[in-house]
Amino acid sequence: MRTALITITAGRLAHLRNQLRAVAAGTRTPDDHIVVSMGDPAVLAELRAGPAHGRWLPARTPLPLAAARNLGAATALERGAELLVFLDVDCLPDPVMIERYQQARNDSHAPDAVDCGPVTYLPPPPPGGYDLADLPRCRAPHPARPAPPDEMIWDAEDYGLFWSLSFAVAARTWSRLGGFDPTYRGYGAEDTDFGFRARAAAVPLRWVGGAHAYHQHHPVSDPPVEHLADILRNARLFHRRWGSWPMRGWLDAFTDLGLLTPVGGALGWVPGAHAQDGIGDRTDRVDQEEMWTSPN
């Protein structure tokens, strides 16, 4: 089964270099590695001498994460991929991650399933950087997601837990679902929307034991206040489509900080007294835009 690994990035060049090293050390390497640069020329320069195939997507604000994943998938399909494996640029694959995703597909009773693997969030690296050989001993999968034993595959019941950090899907299933919705821009909800569309299409979602990935450390804010405008905008878009609110933990945290004020209805929240100027303009823009629909 011809397998393509798809990574999107803007910056994070050191993380990408580590990922390339980890991919090369795997028990099975992908037939293709597509790296989509969202407006970062340094990424394409890095890839010129290596095995990965770079694609360019002009930079926009907020970042076009969904569109970048779609471009990576389209490129992989053009190059003959039968299995698409998506891996966040911050993530290092376990030596057997690609192999486990392939095994899950080959041995599957659900050949059209979307498969997700466990992800461990790593502490800051030591002075010499992460030791790739030591990563399997660092496994501590994120507690909010299922983590089956290495040889097991669990069927998922909660499609809201789907995440794009690490997942695999057959080319035919990707085409059936139509990819990610590029109307979502910036941070948040495009993952959950993809999961909900898989559920609506009766596509199984599974968790694959042994298909581990390791998220490299970088500073984050909790809640991610720098993404407040994108989160609120994308949450409204999601609510219009599915009738429920995603990312409630963050929306409630923003409310507690006075950054949002709940108003109910289709708006859900509006910028609060402590929100930065201009957030209202950015979050209201979705009301003037035509929602994307899957081509299938």
pLDDT in tens, 84-115: 999 999 999 999 999 999 999 987 678 899 99
Supply the pLDDT for residue 53. Answer: 94
Supply the pLDDT for residue 210. Answer: 96
pLDDT in tens, 208-252: 999 999 999 988 888 899 999 999 999 999 999 999 999 999 999
Distance of CA 178 to the CA centre of its chain: 16
> Can you tell me the distance from the alpha carbon of 118 to that of 148, in angstroms, rounded to the nearest whole number?
8
Q: Which two tokens stand for residue 9?
A: 């990035």
Supply the pLDDT for residue 194. Answer: 98
> Can you tell me the distance from the alpha carbon of 241 to that of 8, in angstroms, rounded to the nearest whole number?
26
Stretch (H or E) spanning 89: none
Q: What residues in the chain have per-residue pLDDT under 50? A: 277-278, 280-296
> Can you tell me the distance from the alpha carbon of 8 to that of 21, in angstroms, rounded to the nearest whole number?
16
Taking the CB of residue 236, how many other CB atoms lie within 10 A of it?
21
Q: Which two tokens stand for residue 57?
A: 């997507």
* CB 4, CB 32: distance < 8 Å: yes
* CB 279, CB 232: distance < 8 Å: yes
Taking the CB of residue 10, how many other CB atoms lie within 10 A of it?
17
Q: What is the largest CA-CA distance in the chain?
A: 55
pTM of the model as a whole: 0.91
* CB 224, CB 26: distance < 8 Å: no
> Can you tell me the distance from the alpha carbon of 202 to that of 61, in angstroms, rounded to the nearest whole number?
34
> Can you tell me the distance from the alpha carbon of 230 to that of 235, in angstroms, rounded to the nearest whole number?
8
> Can you tell me the distance from the alpha carbon of 201 to that of 133, in angstroms, rounded to the nearest whole number?
40
Supply the pLDDT for residue 276. Answer: 61
